[in-house]
Chains A and B, each alone.
Chain A
Amino acid sequence: MTDFGFTLSRSATVDLDRVDRSRYERLVALAPDARICMNCGSCGATCTAAPFSGMSLRKVLLGLQRGQDVRPLLDSCMLCGKCTMVCPRGINTRRLILSLSKVYD
């Protein structure tokens, strides 16, 4: 096959009946803001950590809803707060991230 320098993404199937959403539920209980995220991705677009690890709060929230391990993403967050400033839904993202650290224990 000719190498065009890019590949197709791996097929990712999420079986929502099987995933463990308990962490997401606990996060919502701690920070109800999480529920109003509309996945616009502004947070990821401004994220200081995005160039290094692909961090984006949108990805983190989606990952949690799909029962994935989001700790590698959180490992690079420096709490700089730019995502809070650009969030069109006015989510206090820094508090969300600090609350996230509490649902992993």
Chain B
Amino acid sequence: MIERFSSGFHPFVLPFLVGMFFVLGYCLVGIFRILAQLPREDRLKFYLSLITPKTAWKNIRDIFCDCLLHVKLWRRNRLLGYMHSSIAFGWFMIILLGHIEVILFLPERIHLFYYPIFFNYFVAETDSTIQGSLLFFLMDFFLLVILSGITLAIIKRVRSRLFGMRRTTRQSLTNQVGLYALWAIFPLRLLAESFTAHISGGSFLTIPANWVFRQFLGNDLNMLPTWWAYSIVLGVFMVVLPFSRYMHIPAEMMLIPLRNAGLKLRGARKGFARIQVLSCPSCGVCIDACPMSVSKANLKDCTVYLTRQLRRGNERRIAEISDKCLLCGKCEALCQVGVEGPELRIALRSERKYALSPAFKEVHPAAPAATGAKVLYYGGCMSQLVPSLGRSVVSILEKAGVDYQWMDRDGGICCGRPMLTAGRLEEAERIVKKNTEAILASGAEVLLVSCPICYRMFREKYTLPGVKVVHYAAYFQQLLSEGALVAERSDLCYVYHDPCELGRGCGIYEEPRRLLGQLSGIAEAPKSRQESICCGGSLGSLSLSFAQREKMTRAALDNLYASKADAIATACPLCQWTFSRYADRPVRDIAEVVDACTHGKQNNP
């Protein structure tokens, strides 16, 4: 390979260089700003994680798997996975191969940024090129891979259902400019390389294309305009990148190490939260996931639009979107980059200033009597509204001969989670403190919880030394396997509905199913476990009224009906209450099922 121009420069590289330096400068400043916004301890944690071999390796692996290969996306939908990884990995390989070519053939030019990108314009083939034929082949191969990905991307614009997506995001203007520039980059590269292929050499794609073009465009004058176009499109893409969704490409590479360092969201605007917002690729997976999207009026209240409005700084919409959400967590569970939609919204809600801040002077949780009972049952507020739940739990405990005490039988206080999700963190803390004191004073060793909302709160926000917080499904399972309860199988078939707070919130999917499976038939709904649909009753939403939620509840019920089960079982009093309003078949809590289908060891009926 020899150089065609001794200067090694042509003005057509300028648009590319401008874009390149702009985006590099922008990202560099961004990195320093984000790091400066992190609280000091988080920053130290982050630096420490970078030099810890284990997390450093995890960072490299995650960036490679998530940003280049899109492994998670492959699992979700193969076409979607192929489309993304072909473009991301293919592009990465083209850049890498370009550098290898420069290092091998013209090592003195490696300091020029544009050389690996426009290599084929600056060189001419010599007799020794055969050594580079593998590289040429790989270049053409990866270009073909990318072009196939771009073709899929164009098809996806028209028929997103082929890719498993019912709805996609409405893209803003900058996103569209970025998108069309991205689509144009690779066909233009193919054209440019094809026009120069008889000088610079090529492979299975560019050489035949060169031959075809020469048949009817018989001179070399087309060469330069296409290289110009290629460079301009690259430049446009890189200039709009920071203002479009393509910012997720550099942002995700920063998000992964920050997450691996174990940082948690603090606030919704700066530091870690900002990186999450920038990492949103605006793909719209959360639109189909969102239970609210059954109503057209709520289509623009999914996480993808929250991140967009956070970038735009549209405070009115930010408040609206963050208040409406049910905090079911499905967008977070399905998000490919790990944007924590619910946590972002809670953080946004906590920014509000309220003139009144309840001190709960008059509120005192019922002090459990020191009966020496080892098991303390906390029914939560909802056990008052759905008394069948508390009754069943108590009946089971009595059948099994457990020495227990019902902490809030005659009215207790809230666990604090509704206050927390309303963004009133200090007030929630006050409630937590009151409950903690009462629970610790009781001397119990096991805190039995039957409400997943309370259970999540106890797990995440309470410190109860010496007290084990146990979910009732696990506890009843233990009673059954110890023989304290004897199962009598019923011939009903239940479909189990995963409550948001228990499933996605606490990761408990299997225990209730195992328990139900021992006592009755069990069916599975089409969308279950991580993809379970919120019942619509969630207290997470501050602005949705119950009338507006009916459509969501009915959609969640339709999903459960599809399993053809006789009855619905759930492990959340709120879900049970919400479903019971509209369901055409019985809705039971698993405690009721356990109570109906077991008897004690002693009193064999």
Contact check: which of B361, B414, B542, B546 meets A48 at CB < 8 Å?
A: B414
Least CB distance from A51 to B in Å reads 5
Q: A80-B418, A94-B542, A101-B355 known; A75 and B362 CB under 8 Å?
A: yes
Is the C-beta of B56 less than 8 angstroms from some C-beta in chain A?
Answer: no
User: Which residue on B lies nearest to A92, using beta carbons?
Assistant: B545
User: Which residue on B lies nearest to A91, using beta carbons?
Assistant: B545
Least CB distance from B150 to A in Å reads 47
Is the C-beta of A86 less than 8 angstroms from some C-beta in chain B?
Answer: yes
Is the C-beta of A81 less than 8 angstroms from some C-beta in chain B?
Answer: yes
Instruction: Encode contact with A along B354-395: 1 for CB under 8 Å, 0 otherwise.
Output: 111111111110000000000000000110110000000000
In whole angstroms, how far apart are the Cα atoms of A8 and B546 in the complex? 40
Least CB distance from B181 to A in Å reads 44
Instruction: Encode contact with A along B407-426: 1 for CB under 8 Å, 0 otherwise.
Output: 00011111010110010100
* Pairs of residues from A and B, 4 with the lowest C-beta to C-beta distance, nearest first: A105-B355, A101-B354, A78-B414, A53-B362
Least CB distance from B387 to A in Å reads 11
In whole angstroms, how far apart are the Cα atoms of A82 and B381 in the complex? 8
User: Which residue on A lies nearest to B424, using beta carbons?
Assistant: A79
A46 / chain B contacts, CB cutoff of 8 Å? 384-385
Contact check: which of A48, A51, A77, A94 meets B358 at CB < 8 Å?
A: A77
Is the C-beta of B543 less than 8 angstroms from some C-beta in chain A?
Answer: yes
User: Which residue on A lies nearest to B543, using beta carbons?
Assistant: A95
Let me know if B381 and A74 touch, CB within 8 A: no
Contact check: which of A48, A84, A91, A104 meets B355 at CB < 8 Å?
A: A104
Q: A53-B363, A76-B362, A82-B384 known; A92 and B543 CB under 8 Å?
A: yes
Is the C-beta of B577 less than 8 angstroms from some C-beta in chain A?
Answer: yes
User: Which residue on B lies nearest to A72, using beta carbons?
Assistant: B362
Is the C-beta of B28 less than 8 angstroms from some C-beta in chain A?
Answer: no
B297 / chain A contacts, CB cutoff of 8 Å? none
Least CB distance from A34 to B in Å reads 13
B539 / chain A contacts, CB cutoff of 8 Å? 80-81, 84, 94
Let me know if B542 and A90 touch, CB within 8 A: no
Is the C-beta of B575 less than 8 angstroms from some C-beta in chain A?
Answer: no
Is the C-beta of A85 less than 8 angstroms from some C-beta in chain B?
Answer: yes
Least CB distance from B22 to A in Å reads 44
User: Which residue on A lies nearest to B366, using beta carbons?
Assistant: A51
Let me know if A79 and B418 touch, CB within 8 A: yes
Least CB distance from A40 to B in Å reads 16
A91 / chain B contacts, CB cutoff of 8 Å? 545
Let me know if B363 and A85 touch, CB within 8 A: no
B364 / chain A contacts, CB cutoff of 8 Å? 52
Instruction: Encode contact with B along A85-105: 1 for CB under 8 Å, 0 otherwise.
Output: 110001110110010111111
Q: A75-B360, A85-B546, A94-B542 known; A80 and B381 CB under 8 Å?
A: yes
In whole angstroms, how far apart are the Cα atoms of A81 and B451 in the complex? 14
Let me know if A48 and B413 touch, CB within 8 A: yes
B419 / chain A contacts, CB cutoff of 8 Å? 78-79
Instruction: Encode contact with B along A43-56: 1 for CB under 8 Å, 0 otherwise.
Output: 00010110111000
Is the C-beta of B547 less than 8 angstroms from some C-beta in chain A?
Answer: yes
Is the C-beta of B523 less than 8 angstroms from some C-beta in chain A?
Answer: no
- Given A74-B358, A79-B422, A82-B382, output 15 extra A-B contacts at Cβ < 8 Å: A52-B413, A71-B356, A75-B359, A76-B358, A78-B413, A78-B414, A79-B418, A81-B418, A92-B545, A94-B539, A95-B542, A95-B543, A100-B356, A102-B354, A105-B355
In whole angstroms, how far apart are the Cα atoms of A84 and B416 in the complex? 17
| Contact residues of B: prevailing secondary structure | loop
Among A33, A46, A92, A102: residue with most chain B CB under 10 A: A92
In whole angstroms, how far apart are the Cα atoms of A100 and B358 in the complex? 12
B359 / chain A contacts, CB cutoff of 8 Å? 75
Among B362, B384, B385: residue with most chain A CB under 10 A: B362
A81 / chain B contacts, CB cutoff of 8 Å? 418, 539
Selected A-B contacts with CB under 8 Å, 24 pairs: A46-B385, A48-B412, A48-B414, A51-B410, A53-B363, A72-B362, A74-B356, A75-B356, A76-B360, A78-B413, A78-B416, A78-B418, A79-B418, A80-B418, A82-B381, A84-B539, A90-B546, A90-B547, A91-B545, A92-B543, A95-B543, A101-B355, A102-B354, A103-B355
Is the C-beta of B431 less than 8 angstroms from some C-beta in chain A?
Answer: yes
User: Which residue on A lies nearest to B359, using beta carbons?
Assistant: A75
Let me know if A90 and B354 touch, CB within 8 A: no
In whole angstroms, how far apart are the Cα atoms of A79 and B363 in the complex? 13
Let me know if B355 and A78 touch, CB within 8 A: no
In whole angstroms, how far apart are the Cα atoms of A102 and B410 in the complex? 32
A105 / chain B contacts, CB cutoff of 8 Å? 355
In whole angstroms, how far apart are the Cα atoms of A15 and B424 in the complex? 36
In whole angstroms, how far apart are the Cα atoms of A48 and B358 in the complex? 14
Contact check: which of A48, A71, A77 meets B411 at CB < 8 Å?
A: A48
User: Which residue on B lies nearest to A75, using beta carbons?
Assistant: B358
User: Which residue on B lies nearest to A50, using beta carbons?
Assistant: B411
Q: Within residues 289 to 315 of chain B, which ones have a CB less than 8 A from any CB in chain A?
A: none
Instruction: Encode contact with A along B570-590: 1 for CB under 8 Å, 0 otherwise.
Output: 000000010000000000000
Contact check: which of A75, A90, A101, A102 meets B361 at CB < 8 Å?
A: A75
Let me know if B384 and A98 touch, CB within 8 A: no
Instruction: Encode contact with B along A15-41: 1 for CB under 8 Å, 0 otherwise.
Output: 000000000000000000100000000
Least CB distance from A42 to B in Å reads 11
Let me know if B363 and A52 touch, CB within 8 A: yes
Let me know if B356 and A101 touch, CB within 8 A: yes
B414 / chain A contacts, CB cutoff of 8 Å? 48, 78-80
Among B358, B359, B361, B411: residue with most chain A CB under 10 A: B358
B410 / chain A contacts, CB cutoff of 8 Å? 51
Contact check: which of B362, B381, B422 meets A98 at CB < 8 Å?
A: B422
In whole angstroms, how far apart are the Cα atoms of A90 and B548 in the complex? 10
Least CB distance from A65 to B in Å reads 18
Let me know if A51 and B381 touch, CB within 8 A: no
